[in-house]
Amino acid sequence: MELLRDSIPAVSLAAAAAALYARAASSLLRPGLPRLVALLPVLALLAAAPLAFASSAIVRGVAAFFLAWLGAFKVALLAAGRGPLHPALPVLPFLFTALLPVKLRRGGASEAKPALPTLASCAVKAAVMAALVGLYRLNARLHIYARLALYGAHTYCFLDLLLPCVAAAAGALGMETEPQFDRPYLASSLRDFWGRRWNLMVSAVLRPAVYDPVRARAGPAAGVLAAFAASGAMHEAMVCYLSLRWPPGGGMAAFFALHGACCVAEGWCARRWGDRRPPPRAVATVAVGLFVAGTSFWLFFPALLKDGVEERFLEEWAAVAAFFLDAGGKMNSIVVR
C-alpha cells in the first residue's frame, strides 16, 4: 500500500493546485471558448488523477466520482459561466465545491448552521457495513441475488456515511451544504427517487449541464433522456476506472437508458391521468423499490462487478475490517493495562 499512501497527498495537492488555477483563470477570462480552452488542462488532470491509485479499486472509484465526474462537470460548467463554481467564491469554499461532492447553500457562511450527520445514524451505517463485511466471508455459498442485495446495501451505507462526513467537514469550517441523500427508500416514484432523493449532488450537476440546455431546445422528455444518457456514460467510465479495462460493457448505459425512458413514461402518465386517485404511498414506495432493485440486479451490479472487480472489492473490504479489528484489539489492550 505504499503507492496508495504516496498518491493521496500528491493527488490532493495536484487537484487543489488545478482548482486554484481554474479560479484564477476564470477571474481573468469571460465565460465561453477562451475560458474553456484555459480550463482544458484542469479537465485533463481531473480525468487522469484517479489512475494514480493503482493499488486500491475502492479509493480509485471514490476519486473518480469526486474528481473525474463531479469535479470535471463543475469545471466545465464554470467555463460556461454556470453551475456551483464562481471565481468570486473565497478560496476555501471554491476548493471544497470543486473537489468534493458538496453544494454550498446560498446565504453566506455567517448564517450557516452545519447539517452534521447524527452520531446514531453514522453508528448504524458503520455497524451495517461491518456486518456485511462479515457476511462476505460466506460469499461463495450465497446465491447471486443475495450477494447483489448485500452489495446494494453496502453501496448505500458507504455513500450515505462518506458524503455526509464530507459535508460535516465543510460545516465545521462554516460552510452550509445541501444534503446529498434524502431517504431514497421512501421514494414514491422513479422521478422522486432520481430527482429528489438519490445522490442529489449528481442531479445538481446534470441539471444545468445537460437537462436544462437540452430541455430548452427539444423539450422536457428529451432533457430527461439526455441527463440519464450522460449519467449512464459516466457510470460506464466509473466501471473502467474500477476495473482498469477498456472498453466498457454497456450494462450501465442500458440501466440508465431504461430508467430515463421509465421516468419519461411516468411523467406522461401523470399528466394524462393526473386527476385519478394515485395508489397508496406505501404501495408506490414498494413498487419503486422493487423496480430499482430488480433492474439493479439485472443490469447495474453485473456491469459493476465483472472483470475481477468483485474479488478486489472483497479483498479490500476484508483488509479494512482486519485493520479496524487490529486497531480495536490494540486499544482494548491499552485500556486493560
Tell me if residue 210 falls in helix, strand or coil.
helix
Q: What is the mean pLDDT of residues 32-41?
A: 95
pLDDT tens digits for range 137-169: 676 677 777 777 777 787 778 777 777 777 777
Gap between the Cα atoms of 164 and 169, Å rounded: 9
Say if residue 209's pLDDT is above 90: yes
Cα angle value 81/82/87 (rounded, 5°): 55
Q: What is the mean pLDDT of residues 326-337?
A: 53
Q: What is the mean pLDDT of residues 101-121?
A: 58
Gap between the Cα atoms of 40 and 185, Å rounded: 39
- Check residue 113 and give its pLDDT: 43
> Whole-prediction pTM value?
0.83
pLDDT-derived band at 47 (thresholds 50, 70, 90) equals very high
Q: What is the mean pLDDT of residues 55-65?
A: 88
Please choose, from the candidates 254, 251, 260, the residue with its C-alpha nearest in 3D space to the C-alpha of residue 304: 251
25-29, 109-113, 158-162, 269-273: lowest mean pLDDT where?
109-113
Say if residue 239's pLDDT is above 80: yes
Q: What is the dihedral of CA 251, 256, 260, 261, to 10 degrees?
A: 10
Tell me if residue 177 falls in helix, strand or coil.
strand
137 or 131, which is more confident? 131
Tell me if residue 104 falls in helix, strand or coil.
strand
Provide the grid cell at 68: 473525474
Gap between the Cα atoms of 14 and 230, Å rounded: 27
Task: Calculate the CA 166 to chain-centre distance.
Answer: 12
Q: What is the mean pLDDT of residues 52-75?
A: 91
67 or 54, which is more confident? 67
